[in-house]
Each structure stands twice: as C-alpha cells, then as structure tokens.
Amino acid sequence: MLPLPELTADERSRYEWQLWVRGFGEEGQRRLKAATVFVSRIGGVGGTVAMQLAAAGVGRLILAHAGDLRLNDLNRQLLMTTDGIGKPRIESAVRRLRELNPYVLVDAIGENVSAANAERLVGSADVVVSAAPLFEERLEMNRQAVRRGVPLVDCAMYELEGRLLTVLPGRTPCLSCLYPEKPPHWKREFPVFGAVASTVGSLAAMEVIKLAAGLGDPPKGRLLNFDLRDLTFTTITVDRRTDCAVCGSR
C-alpha cells in the first residue's frame, strides 16, 4: 500500500470541523485524500453523493452521466444550474464541484454505465456508488463490483421512500441477491422530491466516507428502507443467496 498523502495547512483548515469527529481525525482525512470514488450518475441522488464527497475531501471522483440538462431535472439535480439547460450535465457538475472544492480531482465521463465501460470504471476506484435510474446499470455496477472486489453503495429512491444497500463483495449480500432478475415493473420516470433524493444521497456519501476512512461500521446484510411520509427508518436483514448468479460462488 502507498503511504497516505500529507495534508496541507490549507486542507487542515478546510476540513477542521470534521477532523474533530471521533475516530476520524487527521488519519481519516488522509485516507479520504488517498481515495478514488466512482459515482454512476450525478442526478438527484448521485449529484448529492458527489457534492458531499467533494466537500469532505475525497481525493479523486470519477463521475459518469450522459445527456444534456432539462428544465424538469432542476427540482432535484442540485449540481445543475438553470443556465446549464440544454448543455451536458457533466459539465455543470464538474464546474460546481471545482467551485466547491478545487483540491478534489474530478474525472468526468459523459457516458452512462454499460457493459462496455463498467469494468474499467469500477476497477479504477476504491469504492463505487450506484445511483442510476435503471436496473440494467445498477446490476452491471453490482456485477463488476463483486467481480473486482470493490465495495459498492447502492442508493435508490421512489416518491418519499429511499433505500440504501452496502455491498462488501464476498462478505455481504449483493444487489442480485435481493433482485435476482431485472425487475420488470420499474419505470424510468418516477415521482421525486429533491429533498428525498438528497437524503438518500447524503446517507450514501456517509457510508462511502466511512468505508474510505475506516470509520464506524458498514451495515452488513442490512438494507435501509426509509419513508419520509411518516419519517420511519427501518432496516431489513438480508442474506446472501447461495444460488446468486453474481456472488453465489465467491
């Protein structure tokens, strides 16, 4: 393993208030600085993940998202601005993240995850985050994460509900253990408040920070399901499927 990078005086000052967190401190911050995190899609959920990770000082972010910004993205995609309508989302995201924290290296890819690029993208990161609105992309991320042994945080929402699953390959259930087949009823367009997308995005970002910095405990085999309509947070225990097509033999 490479030695952890040192912090500059400016970085110590920028991150001062989180350096006070018990169990984190300067070593945790240096681990974050050394980390590369890949975030699939930077919409309402993934955009919040990217923003929180940039603010916290993750060393390198790889972001993938295709397409141009539309007016009806702006109720939730907080990395975007009104003057970016009709322009690539990824450009707006990179600009905003650089404004937020110029110390973070941002690799922007104007594509969505597919079988053609997933292995390379997942393989170049220490932790990966799945926040695409399609199960094809989430299941491909899961497949590659398990294959490469890279921890995955899968975060999703619908209406006022959100779900969060951390996959530690070989140790906890994977996304395919939960959904062994591509769910047939999921619709690409879904009801969403930005505040719900941001909530699950912030929870996911915290899980990434914990994994990268070695802070706290990742939820092993526990799926978080929350409902902001009545403000209930529940965890559901999930087991690995011995017959899982992705992680079953690992």
Binding footprint of another protein on the chain (CB under 8 A): 41, 43-46, 131-135, 138, 155-159, 161, 163, 178-186, 190, 192, 197, 223, 225, 227, 229-230, 234-239, 241, 243
Is 79:47 a contact under the CB 8 Å cutoff? Answer: yes
Between 13 and 234, name the residue whose CB sits nearer to another protein: 234
As measured in angstroms, the least distance from the Cβ of 112 to another protein is 11
- Angle, CA of 99, 103 and 104, to the nearest 5°: 85
User: Which lies closer to another protein via its Cβ, residue 32 or residue 61?
Assistant: 61
Find the shortest distance in angstroms from Cβ 123 to another protein: 22
Radius of gyration of the chain (CA): 17
Residues that bind Zn ion (CB under 5 A): 174, 176-177, 244, 246-247
59 versus 219: smaller Cβ distance to another protein:
219
Which tokens sit at 180? 């062994």
Q: Which two tokens stand for residue 235?
A: 């965890």
40 forms beta bridges with 64, 130
Residue 153: how many other CB atoms lie within 10 Å: 27
Q: Which of Zn ion, another protein, none does residue 185 bind (CB under 5 to 8 Å by kind)?
A: another protein
In the bound state with another protein, the residue whose beta carbon lies nearer, of 99 and 230, is: 230
Distance CA 233, CA 223 (A): 10
Amino acid at 66: A
DSSP string of 41-79? --SHHHHHHHHHHHHHT-SEEEEE--SBB-GGGTTT-TT
Shortest distance in whole angstroms from residue 168 CB to another protein: 17
Identify which of residues 183 and 214 has a Cβ nearer to another protein in the complex.
Answer: 183
| Cβ at position 100, least distance to another protein in Å | 21
In whole angstroms, the minimum distance from the beta carbon of 237 to Zn ion comes to 15
Q: Which does 33 bind (CB under 5 to 8 A by kind): Zn ion, another protein, none?
A: none
188 within 8 A of 133, measured Cβ to Cβ: yes
